[in-house]
């Protein structure tokens, strides 16, 4: 008995591959959550009531239910109505939509903080309402909310471990498979924690670089 970390290097390739899949899931979900958040924010603030209220109901459902349940519904539930998604795709969609709702709230606050004179100036230049939103308002709003969106991205990275429950072989499930072969849970969960920490360090460094460039461009 006791700890034996010597078994971990034997599974280094598997852990590395699991880490790469985790990064891929995080990046793909981040794209959905970012652009989905912008779309939801614009619809919530500017869309007609016929469209706005269903989207608000959609947001309420995703904010009011656990992410794990949402993943189950997307992967196991949709197949009952003929939509059979691969586990990897279902995981990305679930994570992306879940965090798109939270990003939407942040982006809405950023849009509302943009000076009203920007709207008037754009209309004076002959831009339509849609062009004003797309070219003037949203870009300014996004610049101001990058830090909180970055925090959501860090949370997304951590929550990506939940896709292991629907069979996506990312870092957490890779560690569990190694544990089933070696019966060394502590060692491999520590190894997984180290991998997540390293990925998180790289993510935070990238976010700081983005924030610095935005500050310089203002």
Q: How many CB atoms lie within 10 A of CB 32?
A: 19
Mean pLDDT, range 35-51, rounded to an integer: 92
Quick one: pLDDT at residue 126? 84
Q: Which two tokens stand for residue 156?
A: 């997304």
What domains can you pick out in the chain, each with its CATH number?
5-217 (1.10.3720.10)
The residues near 214 (Cβ < 8 Å, ≥ 6 apart) are 143, 146
CA–CA separation, 64 and 60 (whole Å): 6
Q: Which of 193, 24, 35, 18 is nearest to 99 (CA)?
A: 35
Quick one: pLDDT at residue 217? 66
Mean pLDDT, range 162-179, rounded to an integer: 96
Q: Which of 215, 192, 100 is nearest to 146 (CA)?
A: 215
Quick one: pLDDT at residue 156? 97
Residue with tokens 């950023």: 110
């Amino acid at each position: 008995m006791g700890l034996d970390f010597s078994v971990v290097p034997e599974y280094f390739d598997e852990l590395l591959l699991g880490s790469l899949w985790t990064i891929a899931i995080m990046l793909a979900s981040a794209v959905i959550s970012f652009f989905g958040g912008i779309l939801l924010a614009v619809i919530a603030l500017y869309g007609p009531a016929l469209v706005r209220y269903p989207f608000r109901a959609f947001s309420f459902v995703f904010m009011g239910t656990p992410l794990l349940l949402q993943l189950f519904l997307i992967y196991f539930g949709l197949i009952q109505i003929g939509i059979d998604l691969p586990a990897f795709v279902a995981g990305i969609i679930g994570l992306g939509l879940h965090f798109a709702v939270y990003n939407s709230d942040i982006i809405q606050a950023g849009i509302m903080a943009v000076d009203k004179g920007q709207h008037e100036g754009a209309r004076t230049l002959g831009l339509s309402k849609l062009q004003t939103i797309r070219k003037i308002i949203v870009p300014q709003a996004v610049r101001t909310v990058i830090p909180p969106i970055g925090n959501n991205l860090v949370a997304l990275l951590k929550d990506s471990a939940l896709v292991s429950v629907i069979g996506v072989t990312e870092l957490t499930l890779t560690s569990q498979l190694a544990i089933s072969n070696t019966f060394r849970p502590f060692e491999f969960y520590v190894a997984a924690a180290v991998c997540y920490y390293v990925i998180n360090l790289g993510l935070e460094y990238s976010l700081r670089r983005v924030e610095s460039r935005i500050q310089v461009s203002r």
